[in-house]
Amino acid sequence: MSSRPAFSCLGPSALRAPTRREALYGLGASLGSVAFSALMAQEQQAASGPLPRLPHVAKAKARQVIFLMMEGGPSHLDTFDPKPMLEKLHLREFVREGNQKSAMESGRRYYVRSPFKFLRAGQSGADMAENWTHLAKVADELCFFRGCTVDSVNHPTAMYQMNCGNRFGGDPGLGAWVNYGLGSLNANLPGFVVLPEVSYPQGGAANWGNGFLPAQYQGTPLRPRGAPILDLSPQPGTSREAQRRNLDFIAKLNAAHAQRHAGQDALAARMANYELAFRMQMEVPEVLDLTRESEATREQYGLNAEATAGFGRKCLLARRLIEQGVRFVQLYHGSWDSHDYIERAHGNLVRAVDQPIAALIRDLRQRGLLESTLIVWCGEFGRTPDNGVRGGTAYGRDHNPNAMTLWLAGGGCRAGHTVGQTDELGMQAVEGRAHLRDFHVTLLRLLGLDDNKLTYYHAGRFKQLSQFGGRVIEELLA
């Protein structure tokens, strides 16, 4: 009897693991058939490229998003949610209710009042700290939400949850989901562009990754200093015609390879990225050239002042990207992690973003783009009404997942309203309380997307941004 293994006669194909399609097809009827149909639809959608797709919900006003991510956790108590009770309790000893504590928490702690006075801004009477001097002038464009809660007190996991819906990373970013659902409005530019700081946020590039979605949906970060995109221009002496011939030759080789390795999303994405990079060489330099803007516009965004120039450039660039059809633009600013010296720290941070954000809102309104562009301002969690005392005025605040304030503008939100309320100390959201997954579902709805329909079959189940469903916060909708 031969010692050759019995399965060798089946050929090389029997030695490899089955593909996703083969495995699902083998499941036969019921769930297997549903999953196989979903997989086929996903592959067809991925192959369709950046073409725009119809939303699930008719008459949605928002078509694009500018997401202003204030990394580090802005204090709602020192920005948009005043608490007079803290004036009375200032420096009295604090006792936390419940067991959830921050990793930074230790020793005796005390109530801390806000170092900022508050005012009522606009006809809506929005609560805003007095140092939001520019944003106060567009207060009636804003919809404040004070009822949002999250699950983590630590920055990396909280960042992942805000950006991806999952505290542990590896899932698609918000912009990836939106582009998967709606497609791109400009085939010559990435559908999801990220404007980070020099130092990436906690959690790194996974905050804007594609996760289990095809790689073409991941965010494209632009460098804040130097050339926004490295190697964007061809080498000296290389013509467009020569580049085209090279790409055509590479495409033939890749196509042959793809036929031998069906279902490889990474290869398909790589081929698409080669073509996108070629098209970007013609369009991106003009989009990123802020010298094309008038001096009045540059002044409006604060580009001529040191304190506001950095974030002002990001906001102006975001407007230009939106004009050119980029679906989702995310801007980062940090760090708002003010455990001490909150008057100085938050004061400088507000000064850096106040004028640029107000300019962005006015500029979009004047150009007729605000109604179709949803602006989101948020951090990854709120902050507590207490901190330890280190002497002098070194007061700050700790991490708080149970209460935070974020706001929306444009895109069909309920402008000129404040939704939700925290308790008298700002420790807990008590009215209009909703989990972050509900906010994510609401964000999708403003774009005409249904979280229950925006799914992707992966690892044996249909996955979605909210993880396992949520409710639309109707009070945030116009």
Q: What is the pLDDT of residues 94-104, one digit of tens each?
A: 877 666 565 55
Whole-number pLDDT of residue 235: 66
Whole-number pLDDT of residue 28: 43
Residue 144: in which H helix or E strand, if any?
A: strand 142-149
For residue 21, give both structure tokens. 């399609």
Alpha carbon distance 245, 215 (integer Å) = 25
In this structure, how many other beta carbons lie within 10 angstroms of the beta carbon of residue 335?
A: 18
**Letter string b/e over residues 218-242, b meaning 16 or more CB atoms within 10 A of that residue's CB:** bbbbbebeeebbeeeeeeeeeeeee
Q: Where are any strands of DSSP class E within 326-441?
A: 328-333, 373-378, 382-383, 386-387, 399-400, 404-409, 417-419, 421-422, 429-431, 434-435
Tokens 């004009």, residue located: 323
Q: pLDDT (tens digit, 9 = 90+) per residue, 31-46?
A: 454 454 555 455 555 5
Whole-number pLDDT of residue 2: 39
Whole-number pLDDT of residue 12: 32
Segments in the chain below pLDDT 50: 1-31, 33-34, 36, 40, 47-48
Residue 118: in which H helix or E strand, if any?
A: strand 118-121
Q: Helical H runs in 6-100?
A: 20-26, 31-47, 85-89
Instruction: Report CA torsion sign: 134, 138, 140, 143.
Output: negative
For residue 147, give both structure tokens. 């009822």
256 within domain boundaries? no
For residue 311, give both structure tokens. 């974030």
Alpha carbon distance 478, 476 (integer Å) = 7
For residue 101, give both structure tokens. 């504590």
251 within domain boundaries? no
Query: If you count them, how many residues does the chain have?
Result: 478
Alpha carbon distance 214, 263 (integer Å) = 11
Give one DSSP letter per residue of 178-238, joined into a string.
HHHHH--S-TTS-SEEEE--SSPPTTGGGGG--TTS-GGGS-EE--SSS-SSTT-SPPTT-
Domain tally, the chain: 1
457 within domain boundaries? yes
Instruction: Report CA torsion sign: 197, 137, 76, 438.
Output: negative
Whole-number pLDDT of residue 21: 45
265 within domain boundaries? no
287 within domain boundaries? no
299 within domain boundaries? yes
Whole-number pLDDT of residue 243: 66
352 and 346 in contact (C-beta within 8 Å)? Answer: no
332 within domain boundaries? yes
**Domain extent at residue 461:** 48-232+294-476
List residues bridging with 408 in a β-sheet: 143, 376
Alpha carbon distance 62, 444 (integer Å) = 9
Q: What angle do CA 154, 155, 161 make, to 5 degrees?
A: 95
CATH of the domain at 354: 3.40.720.10
39 within domain boundaries? no
Whole-number pLDDT of residue 270: 72
Whole-number pLDDT of residue 433: 98
Whole-number pLDDT of residue 275: 66
Alpha carbon distance 83, 27 (integer Å) = 58
Cis peptide bond N-terminal to 294, omega within 30:
no
- Whole-model pTM: value is 0.84
